[in-house]
Amino acid sequence: MIIDARLKLVLRVLTGLVLLVVYVPLALVVINSFNTDRTFTWPPSGLTLHWWNAAWNSAGARDALLVSVEVALLATVIALTLGTLAGMALRRTRFFGRNVVSLLIILPIALPGIVTGIALNNAFRTMLDIELGFLTIVVAHATFCIVTVFNNVLARLQRLGPSLEQASADLGAGPLTTFRLVTFPMLRSALLAGALLAFGLSFDEIVVTTFTAGPEVQTLPIWIFQNLFRPNQAPVVNVVAAVLVLLSTIPIYLAQRLSDDVASGSAGAAH
């Protein structure tokens, strides 16, 4: 054995402890949403479903959720289009400044969110004179979502190589037919993975959003942040937070399914 038994035990215990610390706060959020008490005191003085009902009827939370979903969907669509195009362009052509362009696409996610946030805020307000609102959020989110699609598409294209598309062209298909029948099916699972990431990023984003949202539009994270410090809203925030914790298992499940597909897909291709 490469690691002796005693060290293995130590590693196992440490891993268990760390995972415990990772999940206890999340569990706490879920339990607190049933707490009869308005504060975070532990142990809870009693359990109730009252706050879940209150949250369901909270107009602010529901509106914010709707805005978040809309923004995330639009940003994902823009990111899918531009990310795929950029990925295909950068694979095919070797022009001067190719590395500069790929650095440019990665930059919005590599720099601290606050820098991207005020750079866009400054650009919208002082340079372009655009009123901050729904559309500025979508543009801002699309800016940093492109990279997730771009990375996935580029990786897939480079792994598969151009031979299938060349074969398609040799058989007489035009560029559009080739894209529809050959390139797109090859990219499908990469695009899905990129879209999933983009949607998740956008749905959760708060830093860039604070700087690009106008005073009238609220995404769900902004709504939570604004109600966080109001004691009488705390129980409703608890419920929304609990719902978000529970919802986060969905993308994990989807991502897992997706990676299974990819694994079996490439295994199939190897036959």
Partner 1 sequence: MLWLGVAYLAALGALFITSLWGQNDFTGEIERVWSFDNYRQLWEIPVYRTIAFRTIGIAALVTVVDAVLAFPIALYMAKVASPRVRRLLVIAVLMPLWASYLVKAYAWRGMFSQGGLIDWLGGPFGVSSPGYGLIATIVTLAYLWFPYMVLPIYAGLERVPDSLFEASGDLGAGSLTTIRRIVLPMAFPAVVAGSIFTFSLTLGDYIAVTIVGGAKQLIGTVVYANVGAANNLPFAAAFATVPVVVMLIYLAAVRRTGALESL
Query: Which positions from 113 through 172 interact with partner 1, judged by CB under 8 A?
Result: 113-116, 118-123, 126-127, 139, 142-143, 146
> 26 vs 164, which CB is nearer to partner 1?
26
Closest to 185 (Cα-Cα) out of 265, 82, 71: 265
> 58 vs 210, which CB is nearer to partner 1?
210
What is the DSSP secondary-structure string of 88-127?
HHHHH---TTHHHHHHHHHHHHHS-HHHHHHHHHHIIIII
Cα angle for residues 182, 183, 187 (degrees, 5° grid): 120
241 forms part of the interface with partner 1 (CB under 8 A): yes
Query: Which residues in 190-229 contact partner 1 (CB under 8 A)?
Result: 200, 204, 206-207, 210-211, 221, 224-225, 228
CB of 172 to partner 1, least distance (A): 28
> 31 vs 164, which CB is nearer to partner 1?
31
CB of 9 to partner 1, least distance (A): 10
Query: Which residues in 50-89 contact partner 1 (CB under 8 A)?
Result: 82, 85-86, 89
> 21 vs 269, which CB is nearer to partner 1?
21
Q: Can you read off the two tokens belonging to residue 215?
A: 């005073």
Burial category of 242 from C-beta neighbours within 10 Å (exposed 0-12, middle 13-18, buried 19 and up): buried
The four Cα atoms 247, 248, 252, 255 give a dihedral, to 10 degrees, of 80
> 1 vs 59, which CB is nearer to partner 1?
1
> 158 vs 166, which CB is nearer to partner 1?
158
Size of site (CB under 8 A) for partner 1: 74
CB of 174 to partner 1, least distance (A): 20
Non-local (6+) Cβ contacts of 238 within 8 A are: 29, 32, 33, 35, 51
233 forms part of the interface with partner 1 (CB under 8 A): no
**How far from 269 is each of 261, 262, 263, 265, CA to CA, in Å?**
12, 10, 10, 6
CB of 7 to partner 1, least distance (A): 5
* CB 152 within 8 Å of CB 189: no
* CB 51 within 8 Å of CB 34: yes
CB of 86 to partner 1, least distance (A): 6
CB of 25 to partner 1, least distance (A): 4
